[in-house]
Chains A and B, each alone.
Chain A
Amino acid sequence: MKTRLLVVSLLALPVLASCAESGPPPRAEESGHGGQVWNEMEGEKLQALGAAGDAARGAITFEVCEGCHRNGGAGRVNGSYPRLAGQHAPVLIKQITDIRAGRRTNHKMVPFSGADVIGAQDIADIAAYLAAQPVTPDNGRGPGDDIERGGQLYARDCATCHGEFGKGAAARFYPRLSGQHYLYLLREARAIRNGERGNSNPEMVQAIKAYSDADLEAVSDFVSRLPPG
């Protein structure tokens, strides 16, 4: 009996450790939509995060999404639609539920993320499928004329959260940036700086609010050249 208890507690240790490591998500006032708490854990998001995502089912549900996001969520080089392949499942769940709840502004996506199109389980399935897709090195890159300065900005302001290689942090809902299309990175960075995205992390807004357009281009260019995967 004692042995069994010991085994159970040993098995539980890594789980507890990873919970402690991730900690609660940061809570703060969001800049874009007044009074909103960033990444508040409410009903539907919690449901999707708690559901066991089934990647095989997600591949089928994602069929409709491929009309824009392309096969396997590769996105488009012209930045009109982001690459979703290899993105962390919690990040995808947060973004979809934020768009559908009106926290993130994205009118193109709204009709496709409605509750009558996909339920919480579908969102979990899609996220599981996309997270398992490979990040390929064929993403759109920037012009390459200011990468050094982009790298300095990245190291100073971005790497703390998004990681040295732009891999993000699933447990903290920080997106993977590596392998993303340059023009999408630039578009969203501008929207975040201008307070137009709606659901931005206040720390993120703070980090780039003094950036000029040239700064955003330089850092996005650098990020688009981070090794994918």
Chain B
Amino acid sequence: MSAARRGEAWFGRRDRRVRGASWFMAVPLACAAPALAAPDPVETLATTVCQACHMSDGNSVVPQFPKLAGQQATYLEKQLADFLEGRRRNEVMEPFLSQVKARDIKELAAYYAAQVPGPGVVLDPELAEAGRRIYEDGNEGAGVPGCEACHQLQGEGNVRYPRLAGQHQAYTIQEMLDFRSGQRANDKGGLMRRISERLTDEEIRAVAEYIAGL
């Protein structure tokens, strides 16, 4: 056996002893930890900062503020990153964003994705029925794709596209108008901007009404 090999072996043994010692010392610390544990800082962020508009459980009650409960985590992560880096702007969100750090994004997104979404409310069933046709089939004459292809038939979205189901009408309408005007421009390939340009105001209202009831 060479000197080098013997050295490795020796260090290996020493390493185990050192690790053994740190295990021994860690035991009382670990036992004390639960009593001293502070609430998770990101959860605190949700329940103290985001809560003001989105509620702790993500089921916002103000129609202008989006429901986040059950939203796709990938979507939430992207939107938070876009807000922090200036790709998406919202003057109501801005003062609160100073309290969100880039390192919190993943956990914050996971928190709201894990909340249970409450049901939405349809106010105008006739309008919702007109919206269903757009949601499922689009508008062939204007070249509007059916929303269901990406956002799924029940509006639950998937890892690539956001959940829409149960969203407040007012929020959906606002975002569609912002896409159309270019005020919101963080959509992939400008797809939502192009689609919103092809929808009339009435069609936007209708599809938002249908989405609220999904």
Contact = CB atoms under 8 A, between A and B. Distances in A.
Nearest to B147: A67
Contact of B143 (A68, A114, A117): A68
B191 A64 contact: yes
Contacts of B150: 63-64, 67
A64 B141 CA distance: 18
A136 interface: no
A22 interface: no
Given A67-B149, A111-B194, A76 B140 contact: yes
B145 A64 contact: yes
B140 A114 contact: no
A111 B145 CA distance: 12
Interface string B133-171: 000001011010111111000000000110000000000
Chain B CB count within 10 A is highest, among A67, A80, A81, A116, for: A67
B140 A67 contact: no
Interface string A36-79: 00000000000000000000000010011111100000001010
A63 B152 CA distance: 10
A78 B191 CA distance: 24
A76 B136 CA distance: 13
Contact of B189 (A60, A66, A80, A116): A116
A108 interface: yes
A211 interface: no
A63 B160 contact: yes
A78 B149 contact: no
A163 to B, nearest CB: 30
B189 to A, nearest CB: 3
Nearest to B151: A67
Nearest to A66: B149
B190 A116 contact: yes
Contact of B146 (A68, A112, A118): A68
A64 B138 CA distance: 12
A107 interface: yes
A54 B148 CA distance: 24
A65 B149 contact: yes
A68 B160 contact: no
Contacts of B191: 64, 111-112, 117
A76 B146 CA distance: 12
A176 B193 CA distance: 34
A123 to B, nearest CB: 13
Interface string A100-128: 00000001110110101110000000000
B188 interface: yes
Contacts of A107: 143
A78 B140 contact: yes
Contacts of B194: 111-112
B140 A60 contact: no
Contacts of A68: 138, 140, 143, 145-146, 149
A67 B143 contact: no
Nearest to A81: B140
Contacts of B146: 66-68
Contacts of A109: 143
The 5 A-B residue pairs with the shortest CB-CB distance, nearest first, are A67-B145, A108-B143, A117-B189, A67-B149, A111-B194
Interface of B: 138, 140-141, 143, 145-150, 160-161, 188-191, 194
27 contacts: A63-B149, A63-B160, A63-B161, A64-B145, A64-B191, A65-B145, A66-B145, A67-B149, A67-B150, A68-B140, A68-B143, A68-B145, A68-B149, A76-B140, A80-B141, A81-B140, A107-B143, A108-B143, A109-B143, A111-B191, A111-B194, A112-B145, A112-B191, A112-B194, A114-B189, A117-B188, A117-B189
Interface of A: 60, 63-68, 76, 78, 80-81, 107-109, 111-112, 114, 116-118
